[in-house]
Structures are given as C-alpha cells and as structure tokens.
Amino acid sequence: MASGRAARAEGGSNGAPGGTVGRAGGASSRDSAQGLARDPARGSARALAEYRRRRDFGRTREPRGGETRAGGEPVFVVQIHDASTLHYDFRLEVDGTLKSWAVPKGPSADPHDKRLAMPTEDHPMEYRDFEGVIAEGEYGAGTVIVWDEGGYRNISRDRRGNEIPFAEALARGHASFRLDGSKLRGDYALTRFRGGGTDGGSGSGSGSGDGSREAWLLVKREGGGRGGAKGRAGGRAGAKGAKGNGARTGSGGAPGDPFRARSALSGRTLGQVSAEAESGTGSGTESEEGPGSGSGTPA
C-alpha cells in the first residue's frame, strides 16, 4: 500500500549499511558522565513533546501517552513498522517513556551482526501495545505489529564491574541489557557511533532529526547470561508460540521474513492487521474517524 505518502516514516530514509559500520563496545569512555543525572518525573512529559508534535491525535489511534508505570521490571518492545520503508522499532522503557530506535534490518541473534539503529523520538509507555494502521498522510503511515515484547535488565557495568544506571549508560553512548522476550533472549548492547556529543544527556536522544544525526549499533553480545545454549533454547520455545514466525528462526528468535512474522500479542501478521483495518473489523484504522468512538485498540 501507500505510494507517494507525504509523511516520512521515522528512520525510513536511511540506508542500512548492515554489518560494516563502526565498532561496538569502544565508546564508553567518550563522554564524561557529569551532568547526566536526570529527573524522571520531569523527563517523561518533556520527552513526549516531540512525539506529540508529530501526530494529530484526532487522526491517528496511536496513544497520546500519559501513563506512568511505577516499579517492576522495565519492559522492551520490538514493533515491525511497514512504513514507506519497512523497519523494526526497538524500544526500551527508561524513566517512564520508551526510548526508541528504528532498526532497518531488525535485531539479530548473531553476535557478528551489527545492526544500524537510528534514534527516534521517545514514545509513550502505551505504545508498547500498539498495533494497527497509521493512515496515509499521517506521520509514520503504515501498518504496525508488536513483534516481540518482554522485560529487560540493565547489565551495564563500568570497568570495575559496578553497575551504571541505565539512563546514564545510554547518555554515555553504550548500554548493555538482558532481554527476556518471547523471541529475543539474551544479552544485547546499544552503542552510539555517530553524533551525540555533549548533547547525549538531553531528554530527547533523537535530537531534532537534523544535522549530525545520531546513529547507534544494536549488537547481540557473545556468551553472557542466557545468551548461551539455554538462551537459544528459550528463543525457540518462544518462537513456537508464534508459529510461522518467518523462515530463518534458527538463530534464537532473529526476525525472518517480516511479512510472515506474527505479533507476539495477537498472533496476527502485518497483512492481517492491515486487512482487518481496511474491512473495519479490526483495530487501528482511524478511517472511520473518531478516537472517541470507543472501540480503541484491541488487547
């Protein structure tokens, strides 16, 4: 669907250099940690300003946001977004919002793969449940499904082995975490290799989308935690729940064909979500107009 959309999908315009960019793991010393402490309460509202600015909530059923989740294990979500350029949106809960990156090729379970991850604006917590169709003409127009979700744990450590708070690790440009999803399991790292500079600690990691755009790599870490045989087995067990999850799931839950992948929430494919939206039986299209009409998004 969708030719000649006016809206530019987040992360949609950049090519995917694949495994050749930058280096992982070497960036931890580039920034000083000073001034990175943040106020979570203040951060959430401010962080969503950019998200809201880009959207007309009379026209899209994407959540406006406002929920603050207290306590418990932080969550992650990976959505497949069939926008003008299909990509994966990788989101981690940090200080009450979902820090977000557009990953053109999606996460890989192979530690040798370095996946380009372009920061996008913070998303509200409610977005972790969002699947549906963003109408043509709207920002990010296209179909969204939740490919995987679950909890994660911060495993970022300094050289002496002391834990680095997650928000601080991200601000420094290198954060490690252990994913416990139904497809993705094991240890991953996000490393900034371009941009950021002194702006690393600001509320919006995405910057303005102009100028020297930040770029990160998402890499599976070797060994570590459940990344071994056990983690791999877990990944398969998870994939079994979402049957038909792409052709190449041999390596621990890595995405195969995104059009065959099934939602971790609803079991639906992109095509099914799109078809349901068009026929009006499902969720997520706002073509009928009216966020007030009550049907909302499905659980």
Amino acid at 20: T
CB of 135 to Mn ion, least distance (A): 15
User: Interface with Mn ion includes 81 (CB under 5 A)?
Assistant: yes
The window from 3-11, 130-138, 152-160, 193-201 that contacts Mn ion (CB under 5 A) reads 3-11
* Chosen residue from 5, 7, 10, 253 binding Mn ion by CB under 5 A: 10
10 or 31: CB nearest Mn ion: 10
* Chosen residue from 31, 62, 89, 138 binding Mn ion by CB under 5 A: 89
The answer to whether the CB of 291 falls within 8 A of the CB of 57 is yes
The H-or-E segment that residue 48 falls in is: none
- What whole-number distance in Å separates Cα of residue 105 and Cα of residue 110? 13
The per-residue b/e assignment along 105-128, b for 16 or more CB within 10 angstroms, e otherwise, is: bbbbbebebbbbbbbbbbbbbbbb
Tokens 């398969």, located at residue: 236
Cβ-based neighbours of 135, under 8 Å, separated by 6 or more: 59, 60, 141, 285, 286, 287
Q: How many chain residues bind Mn ion (CB under 5 A)?
A: 3
Q: Three-class SS of residue 46?
A: helix
The window from 7-15, 20-28, 60-68, 171-179 that contacts Mn ion (CB under 5 A) reads 7-15
State the CB neighbour count (10 A cutoff) for residue 159. Answer: 7
81 or 178: CB nearest Mn ion: 81
156 or 269: CB nearest Mn ion: 269
User: Interface with Mn ion includes 172 (CB under 5 A)?
Assistant: no
The window from 82-90, 204-212, 234-242, 284-292 that contacts Mn ion (CB under 5 A) reads 82-90
User: Interface with Mn ion includes 131 (CB under 5 A)?
Assistant: no
User: Interface with Mn ion includes 55 (CB under 5 A)?
Assistant: no
The residues binding Mn ion (CB under 5 A) are 10, 81, 89
